[in-house]
Amino acid sequence: MKKHLFLVAYFCTYLFGDAIALTPEQEAYIREKKTITMCTDPDWAPFEIINDKREHEGIAADIIRLVAKNTGLTIQLIPTKTWEETIEKSKNKVCDILSLVNQSPKRDQWLVFTDPILEDPNVLVARSKHTFVEDVAQLKHESIALLKDTAVFERFQKDFPNLKIVPVISEEEAFWMVENQKADLTLRSLMVTAYTIKKENIFNLKIVGQPKDYVNVLRIGVRKDEPLLRDILNLGIRAISPQEKEQIINKHVYIKVETNERHYRWILYGLLGLILITFFILIWNYQLRKRVAQEVEKNLEHSKMLFQQSKQAALGSLIANISHQWRESLTKISYANLTLRAHIIQHKKIPDELLDKNTQEIEQTLDFMSETMQNFLEYYKPSTSIQAFEAYDSIKAVLSILDTRIKNLNFEVVFDVKAHTILKGIRNEWMQVWMNIISNALNVAQKRCIEHPKMVITLSDTSIHFHDNCQGIDLQIIENMRKNIYSGIGLKMCHDIVEKYGRKLLIQNSDEGMQVTIEL
């Protein structure tokens, strides 16, 4: 009888989508259980994270909400800080379900699993110089960074004893290990790879292969002593349409690309391939080879465009500065001219002192406008010309671009010139370093409402030193930089430019604020 009722419920689900028909036994279970507890991976973007408000976000969160809506279940999140803690709580039955996991022999010991919800291929990620990997078993003396306590970790230990496995505790650490040459490879979900490379602006990594039969088949894991709950969840999963799944994935994985017209078509095809692969796994092999070929061609271009893209991101703010400075300058010219015109209209003699004073002011103002525009154009235009130049002059050029903002914030800039510091390199790349350091201080001064903001810039034979009184930088950012982990493109670009020319960038806090030192 129970079997017949279950078949009727399944048939209703198939025909009517959201109109799920539960058996009396399933309805009674929901009434008695009242709340289903759920544990998740707290750091697995874009699939799922636990945000600062201890809320569940990501693809899994949206799918679980649909399942709860379709079945009438009330699902309560049990927040955890690490995946290891999640596994421990699941084994101890603190959680009734695990939100989105692969099935594995170890997990079969304490869980049963729902029907598949999503399929996502795993791909090998390496630095841009790594060759394409046809067969993982043929690799010798290479290391691979893998997340501990995952199904992939279990399988790789068994399938590929030829590799040295480096256990890590987060997705970010896995990519960081490869990017910083602490590991040769990592194996990550295609969606995680696309999301992370976009979010962290990682341009020196690429997809180099796909191990055969390594596809994430993601399901909900359910306590082994709750098979009835698994059956109810299956009804909710089957009621989710392919269109609903597609909308959820696109919401979290969609990547917007801004680039020049020559490369736009190829990048767009590649990104559409990433989305289509999720749903049409049978054509993945063809798409992967095409994607890898495109990435090889684009990686060099991306690295060349990185500095210019950063400038474009700040272009609107800089143009606003220039516009405001020119409006002030034009007002001065207009006032000087109006004074002279008033004398002419009233047929009064123009005193020589007034004529001299006004013409000088007009000339000085025009010089300032010309210099400001010249500095702006020099900062913005791409350049490959390596030359020797004075650090003082290039910093002053950046200050002229930011002049209006500096005045509006009453921000005092003081130079302590102990030597004529000469730098060699692409001048507008170094201007990008000064722009990032000074703009950061301006932003912090404005955000923290510093009453008398100030920056002292010291130039000597051995270093260039910036010291502000804006209460310093977050200590976690400094700690991350020691590990070569950078939050945002600004600090990373400063680090990359300075190291490109064989110099060293140091950032630390003092009692007053942030200190940035470039050792020469």
Q: Is residue 135 within 8 Å of residue 167, measured between CB atoms?
A: no
Cβ neighbors of 490 (< 8 A, separation 6 or more) are 310, 436, 439, 440
Q: Is residue 122 within 8 Å of residue 150, measured between CB atoms?
A: no
* This model's pTM is above 0.75: no
Q: Could you tell me the two tokens for 250? A: 């696109």
3-state secondary structure of 450: coil
Please give the Cα distance from 358 to 352 (Å, whole number): 10
pLDDT value of position 37: 97
Nearest CA to 144 out of 133, 473, 377, 262 is that of 133
Q: Is residue 129 within 8 Å of residue 113, measured between CB atoms?
A: no
Domains 2-117+219-247 and 383-520 equal at CATH topology level: no
Q: Which residue did the predictor score with more confidence, 346 or 511?
A: 511
3-state secondary structure of 245: helix
For 281-299, how does the pLDDT look when each residue is reduced to its tens digit (9 = 90+)?
556 666 666 776 676 566 5
- CA 394 from centre of chain: 30
- CATH superfamily, domain at 383-520: Histidine kinase-like ATPase, C-terminal domain (3.30.565.10)
pLDDT value of position 479: 77
pLDDT value of position 128: 80
Write the CA distances from 36 to 43, 67, 71, 118, 220, integer angstroms.
22, 12, 12, 22, 13
Q: Is the peptide bond before 46 cis (omega within 30 degrees of 0)?
A: yes
Nearest CA to 503 out of 421, 401, 440 is that of 421
- CA 331 from centre of chain: 43
For 222-267, how does the pLDDT look when each residue is reduced to its tens digit (9 = 90+)?
999 999 999 999 999 999 999 998 889 888 875 333 334 444 455 5
Average pLDDT for 310-329: 59
For 28-46, how does the pLDDT look when each residue is reduced to its tens digit (9 = 90+)?
999 999 999 999 999 888 8
Q: Check residue 516 and give left, alpha or beta (phi > 0: left; psi -120 to 50: alpha).
A: beta
Please give the Cα distance from 279 to 287 (Å, whole number): 12
Q: Could you tell me the two tokens for 444? A: 């912090």
pLDDT value of position 481: 72
Above 50 in pLDDT, residue 300? no
Average pLDDT for 404-411: 87
Cβ neighbors of 134 (< 8 A, separation 6 or more) are 209
How would you classify the pairing of strands 75-77 and 36-39?
A: parallel
Average pLDDT for 296-307: 55
Nearest CA to 301 out of 251, 250, 262 is that of 262
Q: Is residue 176 within 8 Å of residue 484, measured between CB atoms?
A: yes
Cβ neighbors of 191 (< 8 A, separation 6 or more) are 46, 47, 59, 120, 249, 253, 274, 278
pLDDT value of position 423: 93
Average pLDDT for 51-56: 93
Nearest CA to 44 out of 216, 246, 276 is that of 216
Q: Could you tell me the two tokens for 50? A: 């636990």
Q: Could you tell me the two tokens for 45? A: 């973007």
Above 70 in pLDDT, residue 268? no
pLDDT value of position 330: 74
Q: Is residue 163 within 8 Å of residue 144, measured between CB atoms?
A: yes
Please give the Cα distance from 382 to 316 (Å, whole number): 17
CATH of 2-117+219-247, one of 3.40.190.10, 3.40.50.1780, 3.40.50.10070, 1.20.58.480: 3.40.190.10
pLDDT value of position 234: 94
pLDDT value of position 264: 46
Q: Could you tell me the two tokens for 302? A: 């991306």
Please give the Cα distance from 354 to 300 (Å, whole number): 59
Percentage of residues of the chain with pLDDT beyond 70: 75
Above 60 in pLDDT, residue 516? yes
Please give the Cα distance from 344 to 83 (Å, whole number): 82
Residue ranges per domain, the chain? 2-117+219-247, 314-381, 383-520
Apex CA 96: angle with CA 91 and CA 99, to 5°? 95
Q: Is residue 41 within 8 Å of residue 27, measured between CB atoms?
A: no
Average pLDDT for 177-187: 91
